[in-house]
Amino acid sequence: MSFEKTQQLNLSKTNLGLQSIILNQETDYEATFKHEYNQENLLLHLQGFEIGNEGAEKVGIYLSKLVNLTHLHIYFEKNQLGSEGASHIGRALKQLEKVKQMQLDIGINNIECDGLESIADGIKKQVNLTQLQLNIRFNKIKRVGTKCLSDSLKCLTQLKQLHIVIEGNRIRDEGLCHIGNAIAQLPNLEQLYLDVSANSIKSEGAKRFAQELQKCSKLKSLFLEFFWNKMGDEGIQDLFLALKNMKELYDLHISLKRNSITDKGVITIAALLPYLKNTVKFSLNLDVNQISFEGQELLGQRLGYMRKLTDLYLDMQGQQEMYLASLTFCFLGFLLQARKHEIRRLFIFDKVYGGIQFKYKNDILIDFFNE
C-alpha cells in the first residue's frame, strides 16, 4: 500500500474515532489515539455533525496532544459551535507551535467575537505559518472580533498565502480596516484571498482598506470578494487606485456584484486597467449594478491595453441597460486586439446570451459558443 493511501486510511480512522467520541460520549483518548500523537499531518472532516461546545471540547483535547503537527486541516462547518466551543479549539491551537500550513473552517456556526478572540490567540502562536486559510463565514462576528484577528495576523511574518472568508457577518467599515492593517504588515505575503461579502461595507471602509492594501507591493495573486456591500463609485475608485503600483500582480479576481456602481466608477476602472501590465489572469464581476451601455463599451475597449492577458472572465449581467448588441460593441475592440495578446481563454457572462466562451488557437479566434 502506498504512503498516500496509508495516510488516507489513518485519517479516516481518526475521523471515525473522533466522531465516536463526540457522538457516543467516549472519553478514552489514550486508547483511541495514542498511536497518532506523533503525526505531522492531520485532516479532519467534521462538518455537519451538529457538534456543540461539548463536542468541540473533546476535539480540542485531542488536538492539544498533537504537538508535532506541521500541516493542519479542520473542516468544522455547519455545526452548533458557539463561542465556548471556539475557545476550546483556540486553547488547543496554543499548544501547537510547529504548524506551517493551517486550514480552519468554522463557518456557519454561532461564534461571536469572544470565540473568535480565542481562535485568534491560538493562531497567534503559529509563528512558522506560511499558509493560512480561515473560514468564519456566517457567524456573529463584529468589528471587535476582527481587531483581535488583526492583532494575531500581524505576528505571522512568514505568511506567503492568506485566505480569509468573513462573508455574512457584521464587521462593517472598521472591521475591514482592521483586516487591511494586518495585511499591510505581512512583509512576505504573495497571495491574498479575502471575502467580506454581505458585511455592510461602505465607501469609507473601502477607502481605508485600499490605503493599507497598496502597501502590499509583493502581491502576485489577489482575490477580493466584495459582493453585496454598499461601496459605490467612490469605494471602487479607491480600491482600483490601490492596484496601480502592484507591478508583480499576475492573477487578479475582483467581485463587486451589487455595490451600486455606475458609469462614474467604471470610468476609473477603465482608466487604471492599462497599469495592470503584468496581469495574466483577470476576473471582474460587475453583476447587478447600474452601468450603462456606454460604460460597458468603455470597459471593453480598455481591456485591450492589458497586453499580457491569457485568461479573462467578465460578468456584466444584470445592468440597467444591456442591449442585444452590447456584447459585440463592448468587446469588439478587445477581440480585434486578440492577436496582440496570447489569449487562451475568454469568458463573458451576459444576461442575454448567458455564458459565452471564446476559443483561440495560435492567438486566432476560432470559435465561440454558449456555456
pLDDT of 364 > 50? The answer is no
Measured between alpha carbons, how far is 193 from 162 in angstroms, rounded to an integer? Answer: 6
Q: What is the mean pLDDT of residues 50-71?
A: 90
Q: What is the mean pLDDT of residues 65-94?
A: 95
Measured between alpha carbons, how far is 17 from 62 in angstroms, rounded to an integer? Answer: 11
The predicted pLDDT at position 71 comes to 95
Least confident of 162-166, 285-289, 348-352, 362-366: 362-366
- The helix (H) or strand (E) run that includes residue 195 is strand 191-195
Residue 319, classed as helix, strand or coil, is coil
CB 306 within 8 A of CB 346: no
- Site of grid cell 451538529: 50
pLDDT of 362 > 80? The answer is no
Between residues 337 and 277, which one has the greater pLDDT? 277
pLDDT of 323 > 70? The answer is no
Query: β-strands 41-45, 161-165: how paired?
Result: unpaired
pLDDT tens sequence across 247-267: 999 999 999 999 999 999 999
Please calculate the CA angle 138-140-144 and round it to the nearest 5 degrees.
Answer: 125
Q: What is the mean pLDDT of residues 230-239?
A: 94
Residue 358, classed as helix, strand or coil, is strand
Q: What is the mean pLDDT of residues 70-89?
A: 95
Residue 28, classed as helix, strand or coil, is coil
> Across the chain, what does the average pLDDT equal?
83
Q: Which CATH architecture has domain 3-370?
A: Alpha-Beta Horseshoe (3.80)
* Model confidence band, residue 325 (pLDDT cutoffs 50, 70, 90): very low
pLDDT of 324 > 60? The answer is no
- Residue partners of 325: CB distance under 8 A and separation at least 6: none
Q: What is the mean pLDDT of residues 48-69?
A: 89
Residue type, 225: E
The predicted pLDDT at position 328 comes to 45
pLDDT tens sequence across 146-191: 999 999 999 999 999 999 999 999 999 999 999 999 999 999 999 9
* Model confidence band, residue 32 (pLDDT cutoffs 50, 70, 90): low
The predicted pLDDT at position 7 comes to 40
Residue 48: CB atoms within 10 A of its CB come to: 12
Q: What is the mean pLDDT of residues 96-114?
A: 97
Least confident of 6-15, 125-134, 232-241, 348-357: 6-15
Its sign, for the CA torsion 211, 238, 190, 180, is positive
Its sign, for the CA torsion 319, 321, 327, 329, is negative
The predicted pLDDT at position 111 comes to 98
Q: Where are the domains of the chain?
A: 3-370
Query: β-strands 281-285, 311-315: how paired?
Result: parallel
Alpha helices in 65-183 (DSSP H): 83-93, 113-124, 143-153, 172-183
**For the whole model, what pTM was predicted?**
0.88
Instruction: Kindly state the greatest CA–CA separation across the chain.
Output: 70
| Phi, psi (rounded to 5 degrees) for 152 | -75, -40
The predicted pLDDT at position 342 comes to 59
**What's the distance, CA 255 to chain centroid?**
11
Decide: residue 34, CB within 10 A, 0-12 exposed, 13-18 middle, 19+ buried: exposed
Least confident of 8-17, 49-58, 90-99, 248-257: 8-17
Between residues 325 and 45, which one has the greater pLDDT? 45
The predicted pLDDT at position 336 comes to 47
Least confident of 210-214, 255-259, 283-287, 340-344: 340-344
Between residues 318 and 208, which one has the greater pLDDT? 208
Q: What is the mean pLDDT of residues 3-8?
A: 36
* Model confidence band, residue 104 (pLDDT cutoffs 50, 70, 90): very high
Between residues 224 and 44, which one has the greater pLDDT? 224
Q: How many CA atoms lie within 13 A of 281 on its CB side?
A: 9
